[in-house]
A and B are shown apart, each in its own frame.
Chain A
Amino acid sequence: MSLSPSSLSYYLNVLCPLSDKLFQFSHACVLEREAALELTRSTYSEIADNLPSPGDGDTDLVALIRTAWKRLDRQGKYAAPKSGHRIFQDVFSKMNLESRAALISIDFLGFDEEQAAYALGLNEAEVCKALSAARKILINGNF
């Protein structure tokens, strides 16, 4: 893992400051804090080996989320955690994985549908469907 000075600078100054955002995305998807930390770590480890092309700020985060999303086990059973904030127990746990990812990408990270579709490997219609299901639960959720 030997990076050129410019790549190292990109990793340290652009990608590393986005680590909280990736952790928050991961936490919403996998619900458990420890699993979210692991996903964040492993995504950065992969990114350090294979840097994405530098983007314009927004697209750097999109590339990061896309890498994390590819690492997720889409068939995984992410059960509601026994401790932690109720938003994970009462809101996200009632959504399917695509809905959690679409909601957090658009309503928290600020992606548009096109960016969310690219990051999550879906088309825009699928993103809208996942997002609307998630927002319905969010609105009716008690958190």
Chain B
Amino acid sequence: MAAIAFKDAMRTATQDETGRAILDLSEVTFIDSSGLGAIVAALKQMPDGTALELACLSSAVEKVFSLTRMDTVFKIHKQLPVTYPADV
């Protein structure tokens, strides 16, 4: 259920996006396969011509992305780019 709520929240947050959105994962210490699936689903539902990128992955989260090769699908930032406000 949490995964569905996340997808809905992401749809609301990104529906008017025109450029790129960056998902700050600094508070996420652990992710399982359904959480990963929800982030991939959020990528697939992004409006045409926009991008979903990730930032601040913990070592456990990074391991899940690299094992499943989803680290080749997302642009991953070590830190939030400074030109973005904190709530993007």
Q: Do A and B bind each other?
A: no
Query: Which residues in A have some Cβ–Cβ distance to B below 8 Å?
Result: none
